[in-house]
């Protein structure tokens, strides 16, 4: 029989699973879509039962008709989302997701109750943000008191799936650190905010070590897997970083997905008191990570292509971008199509194409979009560097990493070599690594780097004045963004 492990990622769009052998080779993949409900503007909810059905489907697909011995299963998942459970372990109401924006009033209330934003950041490593878990509980208490009264326990998405598999409700530090309930540096729940929320400690999941065995599968719907150990996975960003070998201080991964992130591992859990950069626990022992987030990365290119360049393939776009010079012949792009997180925390910021003249070509516009995204990521990286966190071993992942031009721009702007990994399967592969480690398999050889982008020092010097212009353009428009947002609200 072939020995394998399974890594699962419970994302927002789908549940994805990987069957991986002991050498790290992917034997099979499976996924099942998840419906996203938006009952009101700014709201985002999902049914945890849908996650469970999708997980059963994925596990069945990965293990059907195979001569396999499954050594372990591990699950990662979307961060922050709240799953409220009653005394029987049944879901009280649909999960309120990480991207839900209904709780700004509750964020303000919790921040004030905890002594102001700087004190909150010192305790929790981050401001209380609308996506996080704690303000969702306060919103339920204020707006759905009957549902709040029924809550006996609550958890995050991956923890709900582990409960269904094993009967045990547990959470590890990487997910706990994104709840605004957990003191990141001390590694414990915070009693004061529990009192503010009128939440008992008994309602919280058990805190367990990441990579530890939570229990064995005892599920009648999965007879082929009964008895297989379930290993504590991590939050999706942490598991994804671990999947491409970002696991020790100095390791960094830049994601060019729909949104963009810079995740840099550190041994020093110092929070950013300005609130630009997140601090979360990592899935490796005694490590944390600073994370910068931009809300539009490859998504900005997709937006531009759908509206203004539908006739162009991505290959042709790559050629045209390569033919335009650094600085896009004077065109700058602010990629703030959906507001911005790092470093501005500005929900009113919007996308801008600036500096166009009759001289400019379509290629200049496309290059400006690429450069604007890289400049935004560079700002995020500089915000992390301001924390004293080294970034010496950089990988790039996500759909945008298939663009050689984009990856080279990134290396030129960061001033350090950038590698792309052979396997770019996100959090599911990181979960598989955690499961394998728990099964006694050495996974250090799983991560293989296949392409190196060496920074061009001359181009780096050429980018710097344009990067300065990019930053100053936002500062010049910051108040205008707020005025425009008020006009839009008034019109609607």
Write out pLDDT tens, residues 216-243.
999 999 999 999 999 999 999 999 999 9
Alpha-carbon Rg for the chain in angstroms: 23
Count Cα atoms within 13 angstroms, Cβ side, for 39: 8
Could you give the C-alpha distances from 181 to 137, 276, 290, 311, 487, in angstroms and in order? 11, 19, 18, 49, 37
Task: Catalogue the active-site residues.
Answer: 236
d(CA 326, CA 389): 28
Residue set of the binding site: 79-80
Both tokens of residue 177? 């650190």
pLDDT at 429: 97
The answer to whether 264 touches 251, Cβ cutoff 8 Å, is: yes
d(CA 357, CA 372): 18
- Location of structure tokens 């392409």: 451
d(CA 10, CA 206): 20
d(CA 19, CA 25): 9
Both tokens of residue 341? 């997180």
Number of helices (H), then strands (E), in the chain = 15, 23
Burial of 200 (0-12, 13-18, 19+ CB in 10 A): exposed
Of the candidates 441, 445, 454, which has an alpha carbon nearest to the alpha carbon of residue 422? 445
d(CA 260, CA 376): 9
d(CA 152, CA 169): 12
Q: What is the pLDDT of residues 368-379, one digit of tens each?
A: 999 999 999 999
pLDDT at 492: 54
pLDDT at 42: 85
- Location of structure tokens 């997701």: 97
Let me know the angle formed at the C-alpha of 25 by 23 and 28, rounded to the nearest 5 degrees: 135
CA dihedral sign of residues 196, 198, 200, 204: negative
pLDDT at 338: 86
Overall pTM surpassing 0.75 (yes/no): yes
User: What domains are there in the chain, each with its CATH number?
Assistant: 2-238 (3.30.420.40), 245-422+456-492 (3.30.420.40)
Residue 410 main-chain phi, psi, to 5 deg: -60, -45
pLDDT at 491: 65
- Residues of the chain where predicted confidence (pLDDT) is lower than 70: 491-492
Burial of 67 (0-12, 13-18, 19+ CB in 10 A): exposed
468: left (phi over 0), alpha (psi -120 to 50) or beta: alpha
In this structure, the chain runs to a length of 492
d(CA 155, CA 189): 13
Both tokens of residue 159? 């923890």
Residue set of the binding site for substrate: 79-80
The answer to whether 77 touches 156, Cβ cutoff 8 Å, is: yes
């Amino acid at each position: 029989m072939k020995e394998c492990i399974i890594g699962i990622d419970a994302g927002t769009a789908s549940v994805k699973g990987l069957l991986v052998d002991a050498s790290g080779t992917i034997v099979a993949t499976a996924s099942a879509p998840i419906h996203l409900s938006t009952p009101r503007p700014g709201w985002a909810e999902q049914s945890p039962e849908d996650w469970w059905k999708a997980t059963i489907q994925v596990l069945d697909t990965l293990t059907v008709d195979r001569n396999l011995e499954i050594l372990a299963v591990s699950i990662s998942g979307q961060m922050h989302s709240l799953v409220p459970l009653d005394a029987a372990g049944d879901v009280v109401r649909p999960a309120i997701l990480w991207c839900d924006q209904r709780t700004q009033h509750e964020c303000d209330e919790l921040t004030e109750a905890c002594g102001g934003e700087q004190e909150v950041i010192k305790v929790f490593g981050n401001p209380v943000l609308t996506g996080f878990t704690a303000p969702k509980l306060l919103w339920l208490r204020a707006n759905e008191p009957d549902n709040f009264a029924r809550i006996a326990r609550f958890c995050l998405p991956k923890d709900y799936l582990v409960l269904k598999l094993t009967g045990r409700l547990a959470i590890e530090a990487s997910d706990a650190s994104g709840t605004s309930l957990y003191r990141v540096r001390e590694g414990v729940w915070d009693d004061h905010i529990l009192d503010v929320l009128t939440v008992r400690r008994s309602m919280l999941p058990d805190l367990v070590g990441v990579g530890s065995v939570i229990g064995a599968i005892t599920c009648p719907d999965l007879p082929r897997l009964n008895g297989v150990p379930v290993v504590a996975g991590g939050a999706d960003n942490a598991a994804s970083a671990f999947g491409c070998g970002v696991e020790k201080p100095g390791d960094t991964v830049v994601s060019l997905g729909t949104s963009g992130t810079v995740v840099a591992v550190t041994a020093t859990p110092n929070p950013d008191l300005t609130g630009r950069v997140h601090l979360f626990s990592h899935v490796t022992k005694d490590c944390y990570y600073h994370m910068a987030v931009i809300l539009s990365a490859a998504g900005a290119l997709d937006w531009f292509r759908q509206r203004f360049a539908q006739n162009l393939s991505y290959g042709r776009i790559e050629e045209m971008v390569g033919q335009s010079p650094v600085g896009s012949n004077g065109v700058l792009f602010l990629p703030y199509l959906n507001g911005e997180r790092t470093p501005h925390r500005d929900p009113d910021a919007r996308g801008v194409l600036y500096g166009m003249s009759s001289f400019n070509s379509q290629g200049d516009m496309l290059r400006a979009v690429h450069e604007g995204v890289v400049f935004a990521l560079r700002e995020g990286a500089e915000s992390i560097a301001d924390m004293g966190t080294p970034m010496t071993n950089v990988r790039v992942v996500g759909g945008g990493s298939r663009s050689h031009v984009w990856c080279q721009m990134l290396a030129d702007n960061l001033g350090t070599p950038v590698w792309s990994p052979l396997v770019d399967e996100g959090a599911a592969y990181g979960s598989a690594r955690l499961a394998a480690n728990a099964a006694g398999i050495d996974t250090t050889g799983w991560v293989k780097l296949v392409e190196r982008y060496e920074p061009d020092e001359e181009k780096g010097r050429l980018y710097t004045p344009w990067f300065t212009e990019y930053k100053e353009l936002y500062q010049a428009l910051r108040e205008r963004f707020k005025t425009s947002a008020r006009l839009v609200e008034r019109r609607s």
